[in-house]
Amino acid sequence: MPHTNSQYAKDRKVSRPGKKPAFLNKAKPKKLKSSTTASLSSAKSDVVDSAPVDPTIPANRQEQTALIRAFHAIEKKLASPGLTSPEERKKLLDERERLGGLKTYQDASVHGGDKSRGGESSKWLVKQIRDLKIGLDVNKEKEVKKVEPTILEDGTKVWPKIERRKLRLLDVGAIAGTAYAGYPWISTTSIDLNPHASHVLKYNFFDFPIPHNDEEKYDIVALSLVINFEGSLVNRGHMLVHAHNYLLPNGYLYIVLPLPCLTNSRYLSHDRFSSILNSTGWDVVRKHDSAKLTYWLVTRKEGEGAKGDGKVWKREEVRSGVGRNNFVIVIKPGTEAERGVANAEEVYAKAAEKEE
């Protein structure tokens, strides 16, 4: 029945079927970006916008990703123990230079081609930090103390502001240092062999100064897509042991690897990697596999196993078959980190030139 006595009401309703009166159409409120998302986007855009435009870097996101994958494929072949031919190694090095070299790879990462390089992996870590309340127990004793307010002349009570200690994080291989820029409660120290921002310190992980007291130590050391880029198999293992030196007794180590390093390697699997971590003084707290990456958050063991059991882990086949990769982590306790591994490629290249 029409909502009015007008004889034309029924005709009006028929002429506009399903149409609501204007006053019933409520405008949907616009979604606002959270302060964290906005600050993270701003921090990353500042670095990208300030970086000089390199003509060798594709403007298209898909082409950037393809470029990065090409670099990954070359690095994988260079690190393979089966690569013994100086000529073949020289071809790979030439191909890497043709693509623009390491600098071009890092520039492409900064410009957003490799989302997993920091951006996506940092989000997973931040979620675990919040879930596990990492770093909050440091302030537990201070928070238990009774806090008294200051009473003003008019009787108003003014409560003192309690300053929380920021969570301290050492980000190794940070490139431009934007991964944790959007989280003001995280105090990040960023290091990289080839930094792309002034606040990123130029250091090899093994040369970065070791803290002497708990005030200088970190809650978390992040090795996101770092171990797989280390050419020395022994140094990969040394990284797991060396990380202990920078952490508080209850500190955490965060590791991100390409998923095929564990699912398609001849020498490494999830179970074997977990055993290696246990042997080097770590308890697995959280782990997660995405379509392309594997994420591991581990914490330091307590007591006698704090720095590992001293076991040697050699290259041992865990799965056979064609099409496997050769990624492996070797543990040699009591030995020093290998030096000059990055320059070994130049030696192979010169050897190939002499043979020609």
| Tens-place pLDDT, residues 83-118 | 778 888 888 888 878 877 665 655 555 544 444 344
Mean pLDDT confidence for 232-253: 96
pLDDT at 160 over 50: yes
What is the domain-level CATH number for residue 219? 3.40.50.150
Give the predicted TM-score (pTM) of the model: 0.68
Mean pLDDT confidence for 147-164: 79
Residue 145 lies in a domain: no
129, 278: one domain: yes
For 58, the domain range is: 52-110
pLDDT at 345 over 50: no
Across the chain, mean pLDDT equals 78
DSSP string, 172-211: ET-TTS-TTTT-TTEEEEEEESS-SSTTSEE--GGGSPPP
80, 168: one domain: no
Question: From the annotation, which residues make up the binding site for S-adenosyl-L-methionine?
Answer: 173, 192
213, 300: one domain: yes
Which pLDDT tens digit goes with each residue over 171-230? 999 988 999 999 999 999 999 998 989 999 999 999 999 999 999 999 999 999 999 989
DSSP string, 204-272: -GGGSPPPSSTTT-EEEEEEET-GGG-S-HHHHHHHHHHGGGGEEEEEEEEEEEETHHHHSBSS--HHH
CA 67/CA 114 separation, integer angstroms: 10
Q: How many domains does the chain have?
A: 2
Mean pLDDT confidence for 317-329: 92
Residue 170 lies in a domain: yes
104, 201: one domain: no
Residue 223 lies in a domain: yes
Strand (E) or helix (H) holding 46: helix 35-50
Looking at residue 349, what is its pLDDT?
43
Residue 274 lies in a domain: yes
pLDDT at 241 over 80: yes
Which pLDDT tens digit goes with each residue over 8-53? 555 555 555 556 666 566 555 555 555 555 554 555 455 444 444 4
Mean pLDDT confidence for 301-327: 89
93, 239: one domain: no
Residue of 133 and 2 predicted with greater confidence = 133
196, 228: one domain: yes
Q: What angle in degrees, to the nearest 10, is found between the helix axes of 344-355 and 86-98? A: 120
Strand (E) or helix (H) holding 277: helix 270-279
184, 326: one domain: yes
223, 320: one domain: yes
Residue 40 lies in a domain: no
Residue 123 lies in a domain: yes
Looking at residue 11, what is its pLDDT?
56
CA 130/CA 5 separation, integer angstroms: 62
CA 150/CA 157 separation, integer angstroms: 6
Question: From the annotation, which residues make up the binding site?
Answer: 173, 192
175, 87: one domain: no
Contact between 77 and 83 under an 8 Å Cβ cutoff? The reply is yes
Contact between 108 and 114 under an 8 Å Cβ cutoff? The reply is yes
Structure token pair of residue 185: 């409660």
251, 310: one domain: yes
Residue of 314 and 160 predicted with greater confidence = 314
Residues 6+ apart with CB under 8 A from 289: 259, 263, 295
74, 201: one domain: no
First to last CA, the chain: 97
120, 135: one domain: yes
Q: What CA–CA distances, in Å, run from 11 to 7, 8, 16, 18, 19?
A: 8, 5, 9, 14, 14
Residue 23 lies in a domain: no
pLDDT at 274 over 50: yes
- Strand-pairing partners, residue 171, are 190, 222
Strand, coil or helix: 13: helix
Residue 154 lies in a domain: no
